[in-house]
Structure 1
Amino acid sequence: MSTRRADLLADVERLVRCESPSSDLAAVARSAEVVAAVLRDRLPGDPEVLDVDGCRHVRWRSGPGPTRVLVLAHHDTVWPLGTLDRLPFAIDEAAGTLRGPGTVDMKAGLAQAVHALAVLADDPVGVPDGVTVLVTGDEEIGSTTSRALIEAEALRGAGPGGAATAVLVLEGSGPHGAIKTGRKGTATYHLTVTGRASHAGVAPERGINAVVELAHVVLAVLDTADADRGTTVTPTVVRGGSATNTVPASATVGVDVRCWTIAEQDRVDRDLRAIGATLPGARIEVDGRPNRPPMERAVSADLFTRAQAVAARAGLPVPAECAVGGGSDGNFTAALGVPTLDGLGAAGGGAHADDEHVDLGSLLPRTALLVALLRNLLA
């Protein structure tokens, strides 16, 4: 077990030290090669590096048959190149933490997936046919190039309707190691107001002030939220005007939307597009749409119960469940009706923040849970 832990930590370090900000395609390409090398070193067979519109993803399959279990991870991070100089990779055995950019989100989980399968590879029969590992390179920016790959793999199965039996997502766990059985769907919009410019001192009455109209728009945007349903609608980035002595001719606001159900996503979309102008002559354009459907708990419930039973039989900590506001690639597979469990990676905290870390004590138990769950699903 000590050898397994040392190898696992070495692979986490190897992955973290290859910085991979989503928006830097060259960095993502380098990271994909490191991911492929880790897979190649630990598992039989040869992983594929897939290029979709310049973004590199990595896929490994245990055999040629249909996908029974899809293991999802991503290797891109939110951190720009050079972050390691400020937040270096570090293992603090005394504090029981592993730190560094991208550790909990989610290079530790990626390494855990590889090592769980390596345990199966050491079994007399090896890794059964039907396991696919897909490691995407653009999850942090909406999975625009990888979504079709994810959905195709989830539907390349032998289960009902040609789907996989299960999708296991190695994102970091919820509080106290909770498995994520629900995630909000996400949507991003940009609302643009067009007015008419005029001199602010000589003839302000001849202008149509886009910033003033935008103020009305922002209040209307807030009115589309529904706290009782858990629907958040948040104005974010605002821009407007060109000079302090000019009535603004244009202004924009970005909007972040999070909903628990597809019905709510559709309702907010309709309400945003129905926002009308208050100032005579002003025009409002709405651009955007939902980019991740919700991961609704009903899709995960039976698989979660199975994971709890597997943990209990294996003598491992029995995980609780939680629902979170952030999205992941698991949202796409759950929306297809494929049983999906998320947050199977390490416990920790500080995702997207300077204190990002993994709890060292969670690495081996969570890896053992993944091993037991894979064996159960593949039996």
Structure 2
Amino acid sequence: MPSIEAALRSLTDALPGMVDDLGTLVRQESPSADLAAVAASADVVAELGERLTGQAPERIVADGRTHLRWRFGDASDGRRVLLLGHHDTVWPVGSLTEHPWQVHDGRAYGPGCFDMKAGLVQLFHALSVLPSRDGVTVLVTGDEEVGAPSSRGLIQQEARAGAAAFVLEASADGGALKTARRGVSHYEVRVRGRAAHAGLEPWNGANAGVALAHLVVGLADLDEGPHGPTVTPTVLAAGTTNNTVPADASVHVDVRVASAADRDRIDAAIRDLDPVVPGTAVDVRAGWAHPPLEPSATAELFALAQRAAGELGLEPLTGASVGGASDGNIAAGVGTPTLDGLGAVGADAHAPGEYVEVAHLPRRAALLARLVELVRDQPR
């Protein structure tokens, strides 16, 4: 690799091109649910990656969703490094009309610029200053924002093969790296009762709605506030007509936990809930889930990142624990050391006014490039 200082200078000189590349990605809208838009976005990302690395990606289409994978060189020594990101966003096609791509006062704006298209720009520009990319795998998924239903297996496969995973998700406040992420579990709690005419003989029914109301209170009681597991009942449904005792009712539940132990404890508590209305029964169905990204999975890599920042003359790095999950949770869940939040510095992800601090683009790219080198140089 060129000297650390030379790499940073090269990336700093490339800043206008980095901004142009970000604009190209942002202008190709890519909401997760629009498979055609995601496929078109994959073409744009593939072109960017091929231009900066000289290698075309493998396109992987699963359940209609387009993912991209680059594998560079040999890693027979087991020191392969996984660089992980996504190109789908939460913004529907047409969002550019209200939130156009623009750059002013040192900030770039546009749907998905912060989460996380700027991270992809940083990733490929970081690779462009590495004289050897041997042992690097890049995986860019197209369904992170909806829980990685079709890319989960790919992420696990590549993470298991890696000595480390670096996730180019947007940074936390002030550019902090994400050294812990809560795990996420989704549930649907369904109650089965018995219908009856609400005017003629309601006593012959078993009211699933009333039973669900008691269960919702019980679920809310499992919540331990901002410093413990959160348990949030969200979407509720019950009944069919206004003169019929509800025979069916349901609630979706969002659970966030900091540790696997908390996850197991809350899971058992949800499954132990009993209905209080005679004649009703409960069925708990688990949906998609991400394991927690615990501090133990990030500590060694965060120390390397602090070293890299010092070598580059960057401001000291900070770490943050955040509530949202990412593909990094999946990588860490198979036991691979994982560091998240290496992407853009900015704010307002998923919100109007989402922006990226342009000056940080080359610095974060240089940080990533140096981290890859440090991991590959570690003793075998």
Q: Where on the TM-score scale, by shorter chain, does this alignment land: which range?
A: over 0.9
Is 2:215 the counterpart of 1:214? no
How many angstroms apart in 2 are the aligned matches of 1:106 and 1:202?
58
Whichever residue aligns with residue 39 of structure 1, its letter is G
Aligned to 2:82: 70
2:193 paired residue number: 195
Look up the match of 2:142: 137
Q: 2:125 & 2:246 partners in 1: Cα distance?
A: 57
Contact 2:110 2:354 (8 Å CA) reproduced: yes
Residue among 97, 103, 110 paired with 2:113 = 103
Q: What residue is the counterpart of 1:374 in the other structure?
A: 372
Determine if contact 2:101/2:108 at 8 Å carries over to the other structure: yes
Structure-1 residue corresponding to 2:40: 30
Query: 1:20 and 2:9 equivalent?
Result: no
- Structure 2 SS opposite 1:198: coil
The change in CA–CA distance for 1:211 and 1:297 in structure 2 (over 3 A counts) is same
Corresponding residue number in structure 1 for 2:277 = 279
- Letter matched to residue 99 of structure 2: L
- Provide TM-score, normalisation by structure 2: 0.92
**Distance in 2, Cα, partners of 1:22 & 1:127:** 33
Pairwise CA distance, 1:378: 2.8
Distance 1:297 1:209 in 2: 45
SS at match of 1:199: coil
For structure 1, which runs of at least 5 residues remain unmatched after alignment?
A: 121-125, 157-163
Conservation of the 8 A alpha-carbon contact between 1:185 and 1:290? no
Give 2:14's aligned amino acid.
R
Alignment of 1:48-59 (within 5 A): 48-59=58-69
1:86-235 equivalences under 5 Å are 86-92=98-104, 94=105, 96-120=106-130, 126-156=131-161, 164-227=162-225, 230-235=228-233
Equivalences, count: 365
Deviation (angstroms), 1:245: 2.1
Alpha-carbon distance in structure 1 between the residues aligned to 2:360 and 2:198: 61
Secondary structure of the 1:80 match is: coil
In the alignment, structure 1 residue 79 sits paired with structure 2 residue 54: no
CA RMSD between the two structures: 1.6
CA shift, 1:2, in A, is 5.9
Bigger drift between 280-289 and 174-183 goes to 280-289
Q: Residue 369 of structure 2 aligns to a residue in which SS?
A: helix
Counterparts of 1:299-378 in structure 2, within 5 Å, are: 299-378=297-376
Partner residue in 2 for 1:161: none
Letter in 1 for 2:66: R
Normalised to the residue count of structure 1, the TM-score between the two structures is 0.92
Please tell me whether the aligned partners of residues 175 and 345 of structure 2 are also in contact (alpha carbons under 8 angstroms): yes
Q: Which moved more, 1:128-137 or 1:281-290?
A: 281-290
- Code of the residue aligned with 1:82 in structure 2: it is G
Segment drifting more, 82-91 vs 255-264:
82-91
- The amino acid across from 1:145 in the alignment is S
Amino acid at match of 2:149: T
Q: Write out per-residue CA displacement over residues 78-101 of structure 1, whole angstroms, 9 at most, x where no aligned residue.
A: 111111122111111x2x211111
Report if aligned partners of 1:33, 1:49 keep a CA contact under 8 Å in 2.
no
Residue 57 of structure 1 aligns to a residue in which SS? Answer: strand
1:155 positional shift: 1.8
Distance 1:251 1:229 in 2: 31
Identity %: 47
